[in-house]
Amino acid sequence: MLAQAKIKLGVLTSGGDAQGMNAAVRAVVRTGISRGCEVYAIYEGYEGMIRGGDFIRRMKWDSVGGILHLGGTVIGTARSADFRTRDGRRQAVANLLAHGIHRLVVIGGDGSLTGAAEFRSEWPELVQELREAGKIDVDTAERCAFLAIVGLVGSIDNDFSGTDMTIGADSALHRITEALDAITSTAASHQRTFVVEVMGRNCGYLALMGAISGGADWIFIPEAPPEADDWQRAMCEALRVGRQNGRRDSLVVIAEGAHDRHGVPITAHQVKQVLEENLGEDTRVTILGHIQRGGVPSAFDRWMSSLIGYTAVQHLLASQPQDEPQIIGIRENRITTAPLMQCVQETRAVAEAIKAHDYERALAMRGGSFGESLRTLYTLMQSNPSTPRGSGSTRPLRFAILHAGGPSPGMNTAVRVAVRLSVDQGHQVYGVRNGFQGLIDGDLHEMDWMSVTGWATAGGAELGVNRKIPQGAELYQIARNIESFGIDGLLMIGNLAGYQACHRLFSERTNFPAFRIPIMCLPATIDNNLPGSELSIGADSALNSIVDSVDRIKQSAVAARRCFVVEVMGRDCGYLALMGGLASGAERVYLPEEGVTLRDLQADVDEMTYWFKRGKRLSLVVRNENVDAVYTTGFMVALFEQEGGPVFEVRQAILGHIQQGGSPSPFDRIQATRLAVRCVEFLIDRATRKNPDAAFIGIRGGRLQIRDLEDLPRLMHPDFARPRDQWWMELRDISRILRQQPADEG
Distance in angstroms (rounded) separating the CA atoms of residues 570 and 564: 19
Q: Closer to ligand ADP by CB, 110 or 540: give it.
A: 110
**Which of 20, 32, 72, 115 is close enough to bind ligand ADP by CB under 6 A?**
115
CA-based torsion, 74, 75, 76, 77: positive or negative:
negative
Is 84 a binder of ligand ADP (CB under 6 A)?
Answer: yes
Residue 266 zone, left/alpha/beta (φ > 0; ψ -120 to 50; rest):
beta
By the rule CB under 6 A, 95 interacts with ligand ADP = no
Binding segment (CB under 6 A) for ligand ADP, from list 11-19, 204-212, 329-337, 439-447: 11-19
Interface stretch with ligand ADP, choices 13-21, 66-74, 403-411, 628-636 (CB under 6 A): 13-21
Contact 525, 494 (CB under 8 A): yes
15 binds ligand ADP (CB under 6 A): yes
Select the residue interacting with ligand ADP from 22, 34, 73, 112 (CB under 6 A): 112
Out of 63, 80, 425, 741, the residue judged to bind ligand ADP by CB under 6 A? 80
> In sequence order, what are the residues at sequence separation of 6 or more whose Cβ sits closer than 8 angstroms to the Cβ of residue 442?
477, 481, 484, 485
- In the bound complex, what is the minimum distance in angstroms from residue 88's beta carbon to ligand ADP? 8
Does residue 111 interact with ligand ADP by CB under 6 A?
yes
Closer to ligand ADP at the Cβ: 72 or 523? 72
The distance of closest approach from Cβ of residue 84 to ligand ADP in the complex, given in angstroms and rounded to an integer, is 5
Q: Whole-angstrom Cα distance, residue 382 to residue 240? A: 11
Q: Which is nearer to ligand ADP, 16 or 581 (CB)?
A: 16
Say if strands 326-331 and 193-198 run parallel, antiparallel, or are unpaired: unpaired
Among the listed ranges 106-114, 179-187, 330-338, 457-465, the one in contact with ligand ADP (CB under 6 A) is: 106-114
Cα 64 to Cα 27, 67, 68, 457: the distances in Å are 9, 6, 8, 36
CA distance 689 to 116: 57
Q: How far is the CB of 118 from ligand ADP (least distance, A)?
A: 5
Q: Which of 79, 240, 433, 617 binds ligand ADP (CB under 6 A)?
A: 79
b/e map of 394-413 (b: 16 or more CB within 10 Å)? eebbbbbbbbbbbbbbbbbb
Do 427 and 398 meet the contact criterion of CB atoms below 8 Å apart?
yes
For Cα atoms 414, 705, 379, give the angle at the middle one, nearest 5 degrees: 40
Binding residues for ligand ADP, how many (CB under 6 A)?
A: 16
Tell whether residue 109 is a contact of ligand ADP (CB under 6 A). Answer: yes
Q: Are 659 and 568 in contact (CB under 8 A)?
A: yes
Nearer to ligand ADP, 45 or 531 (CB): 45
Closest to ligand ADP by CB, 79 vs 348, is: 79
Part in contact with ligand ADP (CB under 6 A); list of ranges 103-111, 205-213, 341-349, 459-467? 103-111
The one segment of 107-115, 182-190, 346-354, 417-425 that binds ligand ADP by CB under 6 A: 107-115
Q: Which of 32, 48, 108, 438 binds ligand ADP (CB under 6 A)?
A: 108
The torsion of the CA quartet 182, 188, 189, 195, rounded to 10 degrees, works out to 70
Q: Which of residues 73, 91, 114, 232 is near ligand ADP by CB under 6 A? A: 114
Is the CB of 80 or the CB of 735 nearer to ligand ADP? 80
Q: How far is the CB of 61 from ligand ADP (least distance, A)?
A: 28
DSSP-derived pairing of the beta strands 588-590 and 618-624: parallel
Which of 6, 65, 70, 118 is the binder for ligand ADP (CB under 6 A)? 118
Is 157 an annotated catalytic residue?
A: yes
Catalytic one of 157, 301, 443, 572: 157
The DSSP line for 242-277 is: HHHTT---EEEEEETT-B-TTS-B--HHHHHHHHHH
Amino acid 115 reads G
Query: DSSP character for 149?
Result: E
Residues 539/546, Cβ–Cβ less than 8 Å: no
* Interacting residues toward ligand ADP by CB under 6 A: 14-16, 46, 79-80, 83-84, 108-112, 114-115, 118
Residues serving a catalytic function are 157
